[in-house]
Amino acid sequence: TGAIIGQMLLRVQDVVAMAMLRARRRAVQGFVVFSVIFLLLFLAAFLYGSFYYTYMPKASFSTPVHYYYRTDCGPSASSLCSYPVANVSLMKNKRHVLTFGQAYQISLQLEMPDSPVNHDLGMFMIKTTCFAQDGGQLASSARSGILRYRSDLLKTLGTLLFLPAFLSGVSEQKQVLEVELFSHYVDDPYSPSSTAVIEIISHKVQIYASQLNIHAHFTGLRYLLFYFPLLSALVGVASNFIFLSLLFIFSYTRLAMQVDWNPGEVRGESCCLLLFQQGRMFHKSQTDLSLQLRTDGHRSEMTEVTKDQQEDESDVADGIQK
């Protein structure tokens, strides 16, 4: 009974040891696979982000426009001495705002007071000229602008309706005029634009504030990347991940086929397992041997006791006969 229990315990220990060894091997393999997948996903996202940042230009750009004019014509003049002119830089942080080959819409936003002077002014011209960094002229345009017409009755009703807002300063009597300067402007890669000169051809124009707006017209792949960013990111990252995974699998397979494996390193774990099993078998044989020796010793003692009893019985029988 003791030998059977010992053998069962040894088998249970062997099974537990083998299960722990396999579980550790599975855990190491799972960790390696997870690390490789995470690294490939990170590289795929990084490649897509780098491509998006490099390929996609800035969608819009706005900058305030400040006009200057001459003031040396004397105090008797009822209008400006010269046309209002503004010099606008098309560079930000020493980099060109416009991307080569990309079409842009350039417009000028004017906040003008709804005054009789501006209404009497009627139509006025806005001339825009783009210059390169070396001073060469690249493009020029001339556009007209005019305030929206409103009758005297409509002005009176609007003033009465918005009188509290006018008195509190929340609203102003002004009109916002949007004038398109370039509808399809493409910058020259050999001579990029660095400065835009805006000139309003009028001596009597009145302006609160002005702003230059530049909007990009995306087409093709840039249109998809800008207007469908989530779908584009999903497709881009998935494509990069598949490509990197295939490249990793091919490289690993080729490396596994070319490397000359060391038998000692390859079979190291098997040798350890074999030694472990041999140790278990040796321990088992020692246990069986000790149990057998104990059993043999007990049997020999029983045999000696039986022989003694037989000798005593034979002596008693001889005495009776005598």
pLDDT averaged over 10-residue windows placed end to end, the chain, 322 residues? 73 81 86 89 94 90 90 68 90 87 93 89 92 90 90 87 85 90 90 92 91 92 92 94 90 76 49 55 55 53 54 55 48
pLDDT at 40: 92
- Specify the 3-state DSSP secondary structure of 130: strand
- Rounded to the nearest 10 degrees, the angle between the axes of helix 2-55 and helix 229-258 is 130
- Specify the 3-state DSSP secondary structure of 77: coil
pLDDT at 266: 44
pLDDT at 135: 85
CATH architecture of 60-227: Sandwich (2.60)
Rounded-to-integer distance, Cα 188 and Cα 99, Å: 9
- Report the b/e string of 148-181 with b at 16+ CB within 10 A: eeeeeeeeeeeeeeeeeeeeeeeeeebbebebeb
Kindly report the pTM of this predicted structure: 0.65
pLDDT at 306: 55
pLDDT at 43: 94
Nearest in space to 199 (alpha carbons), one of 114, 82, 116 = 82
Written as six digits, the tokens of 47 are 């490649």
pLDDT at 76: 59
Rounded-to-integer distance, Cα 82 and Cα 68, Å: 9
Q: Domains of the chain: which residue ranges?
A: 1-50, 60-227
Rounded to an integer, what is the distance from CA 231 to the centroid of its chain? 13
pLDDT at 296: 54
Rounded-to-integer distance, Cα 233 and Cα 50, Å: 12
Rounded-to-integer distance, Cα 56 and Cα 156, Å: 49
pLDDT at 126: 94
